[in-house]
Amino acid sequence: MEEIESFLLNGYKQLELYTLNMKSRLLDVLYNFDYTKLTKVGLVVIFGYFLGKFLGKYIPIGIQSLGKKINLSIDNDFTIALRSFIFKMVTFGFILIGIKLWLLPKSIDFIVSSIVKSMLILSAVGFLLNIVKLTLHKMANSPRTEDSVNVVQPSTLPLFENTALILFSMVGIYQIFALWHVDMTALLAGAGIGAMAVGMAAKDTLSDIIAGILILTDAPYRVGDVVYVRNNLKGRVIAIGLRNTRLVTKSNIEVIVPNTIMGTSQIVNESSSKKDGIRIEVFMSVSNREDVHRVKQLLIEATKSSKKIAQDKEMKAIMVGFQMDMLDFKIQCWIDDPEDKGSAKGELMENVYLKFKEENIDISMTRYQNVRLSYDEAQEIYIKELPESKQEVYVKEFPQTKQEQYVKEFPQTKQEQYVKEFPKTKQEHYVKEFPETKEEHFIKEIPNIFGVGQPKKIDKNPQKTTKMKKEKDEK
C-alpha cells in the first residue's frame, strides 16, 4: 500500500509541475507575441474574403452579358457554380498569402499550407464535376432530330455522371496525396490488379456496355425503327440502353437483345429512310395465252387501287420470264411505313386477283397434272408424259398377283422391264434390253430346281473333282 501511495503522489506532483510550466510558457508567448503579424494576416484574409465576394458576383454577370451579345445562352446553374468557385479560389489564395506572411515554423507551415491547398483542389474538382453534370443534363434533355446522334440519353445519363465522378475523384485524390508527399505506387498497383480482376469477372457486362456505347455513337438504328436481327427476329426498337436493346414484335411481344449480339449481327433497318419509304415487290404468273401489255396494264390498275401503296411514287409492272405455259410478272411499288409491308403485299395480291377475275385473265397452272384413278383393284397410276412415241408408266400394285412393274419406254425396238416378284415362284426377273439380238437376263432365285430349295453348285474344274472322288473311294 505504501508503494502505491508513493507512486500516486509522485505522479500528481509531476502533473502539477507540467501544468505550471505550460502556463508559464503560454503567458510568455502571449506577452512576447508579435501582434503586428497577426494583424497583417487578418487584414489579408479579410481583404481576400471581400474580394472573392466581389469577383464572384460581378464576373458571372459579365460572362452572361457577353453571352447575350454573341447569342450564347448561359444557364443560371452554371452562374451559381462559377460564383461559388471564384469566391473559394480567391479566399483560399489570400489565406495562403497570409500563412506565408506569418512566418510560421517549417513543419507547421507545411501542414497548414497543405490543408489549404487540399481544400483548393477539392473546390476545383467539385466545380469541374458540376460543369460536367450540367453539360450532360443539357445533352440528355436536348431536342432530338432524325439525323442527330445523341450518345447521352436520359437512360444513359447516370452512367456518364458516375464515370465522371469516379475519374475526377481519382484525379483529386492523387493530387492531394502527392501534395502531402505520400507515395502512390503501391496504391496504383493494387488498383490495377483490382481493375483487372473486376474486368475478368464482368467481361460480358463490360462487352455489352462497350457495344452499347458504340451503338449510341454510330446510331445504326434509333428508337422507333423497324429492324431485322439474326434468327429472323423483326421488331420495332422501343429503347436502346447500355446493356441491351428492346424490341417489340408485331405480336406485341417484347424481346430484349444484348448489345453484344446487336453489335456483331447483320442488322437490316427498314426505317433507315422514312421520308422516302421502302420498295416492295410482288411476283405472279398468268397463262401464256394472255396478252403481255394488257396484263401489265391491269397490274398497274390493281396497284393504284391499293390504299397502302404510295400513289405519288413510281409503280412498275415488269415481265421477268416465261415458261412452258406461264408468263411471270413482277410489280414494284413503294409504301411509306415499313410495318405495313406484309399487309400492303396482301392487299395488292388480293386486288390483282380480283382484277384478273373481273377481266377473265387465266391464272391456272397446267404444266403438271396429277391423275389418281381408283378402281376396285386399288390401282394407282402416275402419268408424267404422254406423247405418241414415249410413255412413262408406273404401276405400283396389282392386287391379285402382287406384281410391281415399271415400264420406262415402250417403242417396238427397246423394252426395259422390271418384275420384282411372281408370287407363285418367288422369282425376281430383270430384263434390261430385249431386242432380238441382245438379251441381258438375271435370275436371282428359282426354287425346287436343284433339290431342297438350294441352288446346285456348278464346279469350275470337273476333272479335279472326279480325281478327288476316286482317291476317296480307294481309301
Q: Which CATH class is domain 204-269?
A: mainly beta
Q: Residue type at 458?
A: I
Please report the pLDDT score of residue 257 as a whole number. 93
pLDDT digits 0-9 by tens, 345-392:
999 999 999 999 999 998 875 443 333 333 333 344 444 555 554 445
Please report the pLDDT score of residue 372 as a whole number. 36
Q: What is the pTM of this model?
A: 0.51
Candidate CATH numbers 3.30.565.10, 1.10.150.120, 3.30.70.100, 3.40.630.30; the one for domain 278-358: 3.30.70.100
Give the pLDDT means over successive 10-residue stretches in the chain (475 positions). 77 81 73 71 90 91 84 82 92 90 84 92 93 88 66 76 90 90 82 84 85 83 86 86 89 92 88 76 90 93 91 90 88 86 90 91 59 38 49 50 47 49 48 48 47 48 58 61
Residue intervals of the chain classified under CATH 3.30.70.100 are: 278-358
